[in-house]
Chain A
Amino acid sequence: MSDMSLNSRPASGLLGSALRSPSFMIGFLLTLLFVLAAVISFFWVPYDVTVLNIPNKLKAPSLEHWFGTDIFGRDIFSMIMVGARVSIAVALVAVGIGIVAGVPLGLLAAARHGSLLDEVIMRGNDLVFAFPALLIAIMITAVFGPGAINAIIAIGIFNIPVFARLARGAALSLWTRDYVLAARVAGKGQARISAEHILPNILNLLIVQGTIQFSLGILAEAGLAFVGLGTQPPLPSWGRMLAEHQTLYALAPQTVIFPGLAIVLTVLGLNLMGDGLRDIFDPRLRRAR
């Protein structure tokens, strides 16, 4: 797997193979759908999600309320649109943290392969992995209080070793490439080589992993929100919608089915897209097809 992007070629032809990959296309469309929902929600939603209409609560789906209304009479469709925003933002920033902190660490460890620094970075990664993620998230929220920011930090911390490991592994195999040797012969330093030669060539790998971590981030946010540690009201969040209506499974199924589906489809979309991207970037598989 780690070899996939290492044979990558420039963008030409990727678009064509993207269009021919069904899993990428389905994934891309699903993802696009939710990104659009999030973007549109900034300008327009069918109903204001901060206005409660208690007499109108728990209405089944209808023409007025496509997905019905929730326990406070809010429009579930609108809440899902705004919730998309939250999910995407939380997951995006968390993945961002993972990339921004993890990739340089991984590149550094690879550049200093075998040194004490490398060992320290790798053992540090193992250490983070050794902590059960959800527990640490709970501890973090116990220290700093619940909220979107802390959820982001909690999820982000666990993304760091993921990206550090990935970057290190891929970078290590690139460091043995002749073109890296050639750059060293040209007198370039480790930082410069990492930036010019290593990073661009592991980008594909990072994009694929990023997509997958992104979907995991959405699931994690939902999980945290479900135990009450994620985004706080009044901002809607898919996980909290599920948590707040978990007792209404039988009475008002729309309140749990739609947010649940939103999570499932988004995660599915992202995973399919990641899979598709992997196939597209991986020349070995491409040849086989």
Chain B
Amino acid sequence: MSLLEIEKLNLSIYGLPILRDVSLFLEAGKVLGIVGESGSGKSMTAMSVMQLLPGGSEWSGHIRLDGRSLNECSEKEMCRIRGNDIGMVFQEPMTALNPVQTIGDQVAETILIHTGTSRRDAMAIAREALNRVGLPEDRFPLDRYPHNLSGGQRQRVVIAMAIALKPRLLIADEPTTALDVTTQAQILTLLKRLVEEDDMGLVLITHDLAVVADMADEIAIMKDGEVVEQGKTVPLFRRMSHPYTKALFEASGHVPERKTHEIDAAKPPVVQVDDVIRDYALPRTSLFSAPGRFRAVDNVSLKIARGENVGLVGESGCGKSTLTRAILALDSIQGGEIRLNGDLFSSSGGGPNIKSRRQVQVVFQDPYSSFNPRHRVDRLITEPFHLLDNPPTGAERRERIVSALTDVGLRASDADKYIHEFSGGQRQRIAIARALIIEPSLIVLDEAVSALDVSIRAQILDLLADLSDRLAVSYLFISHDLSVVRAITDRVMVMKAGRIVEEGPTEDVFLNPQHAYTKELLAATPILDAALSAREAREHRNSER
């Protein structure tokens, strides 16, 4: 008998079908990975198991935990099961904790709810659970509030809450998506250890194939509310019988074809950053003392030649976006200067030089918030015309719009649509079109593909590569996803705590990292092939034994 059996689960919300005939099985002590694109129904499957479905949901099929059918459980019985038999960890560690309760209280609550222990005992158990997830007493006393903790630490608290009572089943819904790679690696290791120690079943939901290859014994691939393929990890990846699995696999390891760029040393660099410092003012601590400062970018210098693609990597909060904003002259800088094509663009003394501004454009991470929802596409993408002395009008304007749209693979007729009529990938294309329309020499891409599904991400990377070949535009490509950076850039810079710690041609850095931090970063990055081979070897060893 399996620990968890889901049989022909069908779910609809207000009549809208969400899940169709989902069947999944999981043994104790094993990890089931569920992968699939955004909206494919991964979370809803998990919520069905928890019986925490949104209003208007109707479901049919069978869900059994240890042979006990959840179909027959009343809400009261479900309350007894949640937290006790099934623990759950959610994606967003920043909001998953109650901000006004101490972490001790929140962990102990699980225990108090389900067992008759005294508060003191519950606190003791909570303490132990926190110790287990790597939050030792001396640094993390029980009376800490969540806002004193980092994202990874909060995620540990959430995990401690879920495992406090040693549940039979743990469901983790994208538990690391919001964390940077090094923290992700720690959390995944922790989960793996807990599964082994408690002989717990783990359902791990993710969209990252590499993570799942590393973690899961069995994998289910979901698409549009259906499980399209399911099986043991290694054979599933090796065989890839379903075309969707195959597409997914290919997309996640996709490397766009690129020409190598010749650098013309005679021309001035597209952008030259010299000793830039950016301080954020901290809130005043008292009326009379001067406000404190936080140095987010610390003496950074960099150069990008015409046609060159440069990557900037580093963990969350290291100052990547701040540097971008400085290069775009969106914020004033407190030291150093920035030149575009040899002309002074901004410096610590003065504001930006408007004339140069048209040399640089940007594409942001979130395709949803990058556009004013009230404007049509033609108006959206022509916004940078504002920077031109004689903005084109009439037929010429139309022509430029059409060519920008076709450049990014959209149709001319899309110009009259509103932004909500497009998918995320299409929106990101429009964002690129907007950046291209005044033919800048540098485009800054701040996490431009991070929010996209793998298959769409692959398309956008192709597009970017193609554009850079055709138009000789330079990119400053910022991402925390090393594999993407590796795929698209010529040169890479590694940033840590506001400083650039390593720099060099991309392949060199990836193959032969010099700085300890770079090494750590690379080690923590899950890589699909490597994970698969490791698993294969392990399984092979196990079967031989």
| A and B touch in their complex, CB below 8 angstroms | yes
Q: Known contacts A182-B434, A186-B384; is A8 also within 8 Å of B357 by CB?
A: no
Name the residue of chain A whose CB is nearest to the CB of B383: A186
Please tell me if the beta carbons of A188 and B386 are within 8 angstroms of each other in the complex.
yes
Name the residue of chain A whose CB is nearest to the CB of B384: A186
Identify which of residues 357-404 in chain B touch chain A, using a CB-to-CB cut-off of 8 Å.
357-358, 360-362, 364-366, 369-374, 383-387
**Cα-based distance from A37 to B445 in the complex (angstroms):** 58
* B350 is an interface residue with CB less than 8 A from chain A: no
Number of A-B contacts (CB under 8 A): 63
Name the residue of chain B whose CB is nearest to the CB of A182: B370
Identify which of residues 165-203 in chain A touch chain B, using a CB-to-CB cut-off of 8 Å.
177-179, 181-188, 196-197, 200-201
**Cα-based distance from A8 to B420 in the complex (angstroms):** 10
**Cα-based distance from A184 to B330 in the complex (angstroms):** 7
* Residues in chain B near residue A185, CB distance under 8 A: 328, 330, 357, 360-362, 384
Kindly supply a per-residue 1/0 record for chain A positions 265-289, scoring 1 wherever the CB is within 8 Å of any chain B CB and 0 otherwise. Answer: 0000000000000000000000010
**Cα-based distance from A225 to B362 in the complex (angstroms):** 57
Please tell me if the beta carbons of A186 and B372 are within 8 angstroms of each other in the complex.
no
- Determine how close the nearest CB of chain B comes to the CB of A193; give it in whole angstroms: 10
* Residues in chain B near residue A200, CB distance under 8 A: 372, 374
Please tell me if the beta carbons of B374 and A182 are within 8 angstroms of each other in the complex.
no
- Determine how close the nearest CB of chain B comes to the CB of A117; give it in whole angstroms: 16
* Residues in chain A near residue B362, CB distance under 8 A: 181-182, 185
Name the residue of chain B whose CB is nearest to the CB of A192: B386
Report which residue of A8, A114, A187, A188 has the largest number of chain B beta carbons within 10 angstroms of its beta carbon. Answer: A187
- Determine how close the nearest CB of chain A comes to the CB of B540; give it in whole angstroms: 48
* A9 is an interface residue with CB less than 8 A from chain B: yes
**Cα-based distance from A182 to B56 in the complex (angstroms):** 39
**Cα-based distance from A166 to B361 in the complex (angstroms):** 32
* B15 is an interface residue with CB less than 8 A from chain A: no
**Cα-based distance from A179 to B427 in the complex (angstroms):** 12
Name the residue of chain A whose CB is nearest to the CB of B364: A178
Please tell me if the beta carbons of A201 and B374 are within 8 angstroms of each other in the complex.
yes
* B244 is an interface residue with CB less than 8 A from chain A: no
**Cα-based distance from A187 to B351 in the complex (angstroms):** 12
Select one of A114, A179, A186, A188 contacting B369, CB under 8 A: A179
- Determine how close the nearest CB of chain A comes to the CB of B377; give it in whole angstroms: 13
Q: Known contacts A178-B364, A182-B383; is A187 also within 8 Å of B373 by CB?
A: no
* Residues in chain A near residue B366, CB distance under 8 A: 178
Please tell me if the beta carbons of B383 and A183 are within 8 angstroms of each other in the complex.
yes
* B247 is an interface residue with CB less than 8 A from chain A: no
5 A-B pairs with least C-beta separation: A178-B364, A178-B370, A186-B384, A187-B387, A186-B383
Show 30 residue pairs from A and B whose CB-CB distance is below 8 angstroms, ordered by the A residue.
Answer: A7-B373, A8-B373, A9-B420, A10-B420, A114-B281, A178-B364, A178-B370, A179-B369, A179-B371, A181-B330, A181-B364, A182-B383, A182-B431, A182-B434, A183-B383, A184-B328, A185-B328, A185-B330, A185-B357, A185-B360, A185-B362, A186-B383, A186-B384, A186-B385, A187-B358, A187-B384, A187-B386, A200-B372, A201-B372, A288-B55
A contact set with B: CB distance below 8 Å: 7-10, 114, 177-179, 181-188, 196-197, 200-201, 288
